[in-house]
Chain A
């Protein structure tokens, strides 16, 4: 029952939404709109699961004074403060919630994202080596595209951005389309397996 019921629900709703896509029946459209609303409601409950999990994990860390437990305390305080401020003082322009978000969270997140620039440099330094023919093609293409995508490439020669554009619009798109088609087909068969109950990993089955 533990796995059969979710699989049965998945089958019914999977078949329904598949058929509904091709029909203009108003009753089915109404049911479909209802399903979309339910998806949002269920998602909010899953957020609740996430919040409870965070509290559980970090509370245990604090209680047992495990490694780095002060960070766990900071996490819980952060969640509580933002939630309380959001509910009591609102999220409008000038509210403490918005101030903390724009002045603490945004810079912190941007800092993490900025790491990418450095990691791209070190990955490019490690990875773009003239080892064989394919690697040479990769190296030359990377140089042309990197130059072509900034104004400096245009200032060196009009030819560079045009070649870069050609590379992005032609061989790159062709390769991407091939990969996308493969991924699309993989998604179709995986989705069919899920709807038909062959695939049970989402309910913890084999």
Chain B
């Protein structure tokens, strides 16, 4: 068997086992907290109780397994701090997911819809939505997800634009935070914190380095770090070891392939 030319189906099966076994046996691991996750945690921690925070569920159904722990940890923090949460989605699929998550976590903290949090729903054309909210949030979202006028909610009826929002949190699996940086931060100097898929970190790094975005809490590891900061040990911790094994598996495969190719060339 030429190990430098393995059938990809063999690789797929081994990869599957590298993921399934740690999850089946519920093997967990500890995690060190990084500066990036600490940045977003501190930003939220520094807010006063009762201040508004906008959380944008900028991800699709496909990345739900990765984004769910991140969104959960962030929402737990927001509700723990008794902040007034304004949820929305700039992707159509994120709409239902965002509402489900928000309702689920808010329920655990005994928060009331309309008093402690609202969900604005989805707006297409994210560029015009982000820019429009800078002028007036209620003009972009006159009604919430439940088809009620936002002005009916006394706690949220006074919202104007980004001036009323000390922070926007973007939970994103794609490049939506770049649009938040390009439009909300560049034009309105709005602070934007990011919790994103692990693969997107390097794309956003220039924005974090320059201070245009805060964070990021990235992927399962970022979610586990956030859980640790919140003194919880949740779903991210349970999935983290599986991530480690898959990384190790890929490294082992690459080394084996190179050694096999090197041996073949010597022959």
Q: State the A residues within 8 Å of B (CB).
A: 21, 29, 33, 35-37, 39-40, 43-44, 47, 91-93, 97-98, 101-102, 105-106, 108-110, 112-114, 117-118, 120-122, 124-125, 128-130, 139, 142-143, 146-147, 149-152, 154-155, 161, 165, 168-169, 172-173, 176-177, 180
Contact = CB atoms under 8 A, between A and B. Distances in A.
Given A36-B132, A176-B206, A121 B247 contact: no
Given A161-B32, A172-B202, A152 B248 contact: yes
A150 B209 contact: no
A40 B123 contact: yes
A143 B96 contact: no
Contacts of A154: 32
| Chain B interface category by residue count | 35 or more
Interface string B85-100: 0000000010011011
Contacts of A112: 62
A172 B201 CA distance: 11
A124 B250 contact: yes
Contacts of B203: 176
Given A40-B124, A150-B244, A154-B32, A109 B100 contact: no
Contact of A150 (B125, B240, B257): B240
B115 interface: no
A180 B240 CA distance: 32
A32 to B, nearest CB: 8
Interface in B191-226: 198, 201-203, 205-206, 209, 221
Contacts, number: 153
A151 B124 contact: no
Can you list the 6 inter-chain pairs with the closest CB atoms, starting with the nearest?
Answer: A113-B62, A109-B62, A109-B61, A36-B128, A152-B244, A150-B244
Interface string B20-32: 0000000001111
B197 to A, nearest CB: 10
A197 to B, nearest CB: 22
A87 to B, nearest CB: 12
Nearest to B31: A151
Contacts of A37: 128, 132, 139
A168 to B, nearest CB: 6
A75 B46 CA distance: 49
A168 B257 CA distance: 26
Contacts of A98: 96, 99-100
